Amino acid sequence: MLRQTSRLLARSIATTQQPIRLMGARPMSTNMPATPVEDSTFAASWKKVAPHIDPPKTPSAFMKPRPSTPSAIPSKITVNFVLPYASQLTSKEVDMVIIPATTGQMGVLPGHVPTIAELKPGVLSVHEGNDVKKYFLSSGFVFVHANSVADIVVVEAVPVDRIDQNLVQKGLADFTQKLSSATTELEKAEAQIGIDVHSALSSALAG
Partner 1 sequence: MVETWGICIYILKYSMKKCREHVPLGARSISTQIVRNRMKSVKNIQKITKAMKMVAASKLRLIQTRAENSRGLWQPFTALLGDTPSVDVKKNVIVTISSDKGLCGGINSTAVKVSRAINRLTSGPDKETKYVILGEKAKVQLIRDSKKSITICMTELQRNPLNYTQVSVLADDILKNVEYDALRIVFNKFQSVVSFIPTMATVLSPEVVERETESEGKLGDLDSYEIEGGETKGEILQNLSEFQFSCVLFNAVMENACSEQGARMSAMDSSSRNAGDMLDRLTLTYNRTRQASITTELTEIISGAAALES
Residues 197, 149: Cα–Cα separation, whole Å: 28
3-state class (DSSP) for residue 150: strand
CA gap 204, 35 in Å, rounded: 41
Q: Does 117 bind partner 1 (CB under 8 A)?
A: yes
- Residue 166 has, within 13 A of its CA and on its CB side, a CA count of 0
- Residue 114 C-beta: closest distance to partner 1, Å: 4
103 binds partner 1 (CB under 8 A): yes
How far is 23 from 19, CA to CA, in rounded Å?
8
Q: What are the two backbone dihedrals, phi and then psi, of residue 123, each rounded to the nearest 5 degrees?
A: -105, 130
CB of 181 to partner 1, least distance (A): 25
56 sits in the region (left: phi over 0; alpha: psi -120 to 50; else beta) called beta
Burial state string for 71-101 with b = 16 or more CB within 10 A and e = fewer than 16: eeeeeebbbbbbbeeeebbeeeebbbbbbbb
Question: Quick check: 3 binds partner 1 (CB under 8 A)?
Answer: no
Least distance in Å: CB of 180 to partner 1? Answer: 27
Binding status of residue 190 toward partner 1 by CB under 8 A: no
> Using the rule CB under 8 A, is 197 a contact of partner 1?
no
Q: Does 146 bind partner 1 (CB under 8 A)?
A: yes
Binding segment for partner 1 (CB under 8 A), chosen from 3-11, 17-25, 79-87, 187-195, is 79-87
- Is residue 6 a contact point for partner 1 (CB under 8 A)? no
Candidates 8, 23, 155, 189: give the one binding partner 1 (CB under 8 A): 155
Question: Binder to partner 1 among 22, 86, 186, 206 (CB under 8 A)?
Answer: 86
Q: Are 144 and 113 in contact (CB under 8 A)?
A: yes
Of residues 27 and 177, the one with the C-beta less far from partner 1: 27
Q: Is residue 124 near partner 1 by the rule CB under 8 A? A: no
Secondary structure letter of residue 4 according to DSSP: G
Residues that bind partner 1 (CB under 8 A): 33-35, 38-39, 41-42, 45-46, 49-50, 53-54, 56-60, 62-63, 66, 80, 82-87, 90, 101-103, 106, 113-118, 140-141, 143, 145-146, 149, 151-153, 155
